Structure 1
Amino acid sequence: MVVVRTTPPRPVDVTAVFPELAPSARPAVRLHPRPGAPSAADSSVGGPLLWPADEPWPHCEAAHLHLDSGFRRPPAEVRLDRRIMARRHADHGGPAMTPEEQTLRERCATMMEERFGADLPEPADCPVPLLPVAQLYLRDVPLLRPPAGADVLQVLWCPYDHEPDCKPSTALFWRSAAEVADILATPPEPYEVNDDGYVPEPCTLAPEAITEYPNSLDLSPRERSMVEDRSRWRAAGADPDSSHADSPRGFYDIHLAEAPGWKVGGWPPWGRTDPCPRYCAVCDARMVPLLTVASFEWDGGEGHSWAPHEDREAAVAAAAVGYCCGQRPSQPTKVAVGSTDNLQIYVCPTSPDHPHTDLIQ
């Protein structure tokens, strides 16, 4: 079954009100991840990768920040707890744990004990296997700019925070799907994770091409004044809603500029900091956004105007009554980076072989 997600039309046509912003339009692809059972042949978030059986799995050997919580928590246990919470959310009168769930929990504990006994190593003491974050096929996301001959992008990260920005370190791999014969069946996993939010829930994707405009922080001073000028809105027959009567710029940023959620391309979602251009360490070219790893697909308040038509009812209900048991419809991947922010991956526009960089926003 083909899953479709459709972004509602924006409440105002940006170029009708501000034709000066037309040259700033950028293409983007909202990925719309939703929980599922993707295979290695699919584009996905947190799903299995098309990884050659004869290619070593990547590990992180850098120093890791580690907050000692007093217990070890493997990815399998994180996934199990999510499964339990989802079941209990759907069935409030159900048992705290089913026999199958109890068996799985005991299996997690046994696995940890067999591997490490009572003395688990600190994360800095051993290389840490990376976790799959996303796999994107060019056929699903034509906006990708792969090296010659490549048609699959694979993104992984280390599930620990790293200096100096307290974020997971990322790794990118491009490959040709046709060249992968035997797939690695059981990739290694880290024995624990620094944060539950660093374990993406397996999700299928419903890519959707959209057009974005820059956040007001990316506008020139003249353009920013233009967006703040209420008379410009009225002259075009548009008017921000009453909640933004004194701040049309806020209306522009929330409803008209860059889309929230997981996406390829587009404009950066500034706000945590002022715009911070990234430059290639090899050629000094200004880098461009490749992938946004988002904590939320849309904002729980006014920003739920970005919720797809197909999720509208759930988004409105969640905005009205909240959520429980971690079952936010706007957080299908269960990923949380920073203070529920976004991790943006940037690449060099002149060569895909140049190293990427990333930034929390």
Structure 2
Amino acid sequence: MPGIDEWARPVVELNPAPGEPTAADSHIGGPLLWPADEPWPHCDGSTHEGSTDSPSAHAVGVRVPFVSALQLYRRDFPELPFPADTDVLQVFLCTLRHERNWGPDVHVVWRDTARVTTTIAEEPRPELQEPDLAPAPRLLKPVRDVEYPMLEELPKALIDSLEAAQEDYDEFFDTWPDVATGSKIGGWTAWWQTGPGPGPECPECGDPRRQTLALATHEPSGDDVGWEFGREGVLNVFMCPRDVNHPFEVHID
């Protein structure tokens, strides 16, 4: 299809599967390679959602430890935009609901494993958490592909030209490739509740942030992780393509 190649993006579907991950593995919900001499990250509790009778409401203003959500090594996922001198991405969730997105807060660490000499003996666990935000341990069986956006994200002029090039109008829409709805890195956003909009701009440099990571309520394989985001949706993390250390945006859809 003329004009569509520039919209192709590599995607890696994480394809989580039951297992017993270690700190040496890429995984969801397993132990992290965390230095013993580095403080474990905590959520300060200032934005815990307090309007309902829930664990989150009882933790408003309460400092709680983040929970290990995801660990991805560069050797397994070179597609990630690792900063120089880092080789593992560690993602944490505050497993309480927050006012801004009715979901977890997200904390990200890019780490150089060569600088980790002694690892933490035991990861702290929150005394209060929403059970449906806590992940079960999963190993990853990645599947690599190329992904195109939903038609709603393409410029109208391009859609018109693509339609004109097709002999069968209905077949064009019916055969347009789906956006992966499971947990993944890269690719495009699987909008289904709010619909696509302009990409959030990086507040530091102004570049449009891009879909970098998605954590899904439901996996295509049926091996769900156990967390639920929004109305059985996907937690999407948009990062600045110029510098992933710039502030990122989280959107649950």
Structures share a fold, TM > 0.5?
yes
| Aligned pairs (5 A) from 1:39-58 | 39-58=22-41
Is 1:222 paired with 2:147? no
Consecutive unaligned residues of structure 1, counting only runs of 5 or more, are 1-17, 74-120, 241-247, 299-328
| 1:232 alignment partner in structure 2 | 166
Corresponding letter in the other structure for 2:93: W
* Higher gyration radius (CA): 1
Corresponding letter in the other structure for 2:180: A
Please give the alpha-carbon distance, in whole angstroms, between the structure 1 residues aligned to 2:77 and 2:53.
Answer: 40
Q: Tell me the secondary structure at the aligned position of residue 346 of structure 1.
A: strand
Please give the alpha-carbon distance, in whole angstroms, between the structure 1 residues aligned to 2:248 and 2:217.
Answer: 21
Q: Tell me the secondary structure at the aligned position of residue 182 of structure 1.
A: coil
Q: Tell me the secondary structure at the aligned position of residue 280 of structure 1.
A: coil
Please give the alpha-carbon distance, in whole angstroms, between the structure 2 residues aligned to 1:249 and 1:158.
Answer: 40
Q: Which has the higher helix share?
A: 1
Q: Tell me the secondary structure at the aligned position of residue 122 of structure 1.
A: helix
Is 1:278 paired with 2:214? no
Is 1:210 paired with 2:194? no
Q: Tell me the secondary structure at the aligned position of residue 144 of structure 2.
A: strand
Consecutive unaligned residues of structure 2, counting only runs of 5 or more, are none
CA contact (8 A) 2:18 2:223 kept: no
| Aligned pairs (5 A) from 1:1-361 | 18-61=1-44, 62-66=46-50, 67-69=52-54, 122-194=58-130, 196-225=131-160, 232=166, 234=168, 240=171, 248-249=172-173, 251-252=175-176, 256-276=177-197, 277-298=199-220, 329-361=221-253
Percent identical: 36
Q: Tell me the secondary structure at the aligned position of residue 19 of structure 1.
A: coil
Corresponding letter in the other structure for 1:55: E
Q: 1:54 to 1:284 in 2, by over 3 A?
A: same
Please give the alpha-carbon distance, in whole angstroms, between the structure 1 residues aligned to 2:114 and 2:161.
Answer: 50
Give a deviation string over 1:318-361, Cα, whole Å, max 9, x none: xxxxxxxxxxx524211210101111111111112211111112
CA contact (8 A) 2:217 2:232 kept: yes
TM-score (norm 2): 0.91
CA contact (8 A) 1:217 1:270 kept: no
CA contact (8 A) 1:152 1:175 kept: yes
CA contact (8 A) 2:72 2:88 kept: yes
Question: Greater shift after overlay, 176-185 or 146-155?
Answer: 176-185
Q: Tell me the secondary structure at the aligned position of residue 223 of structure 1.
A: helix
Q: Tell me the secondary structure at the aligned position of residue 20 of structure 1.
A: coil
Q: 1:278 to 1:37 in 2, by over 3 A?
A: same
Q: Tell me the secondary structure at the aligned position of residue 161 of structure 1.
A: coil
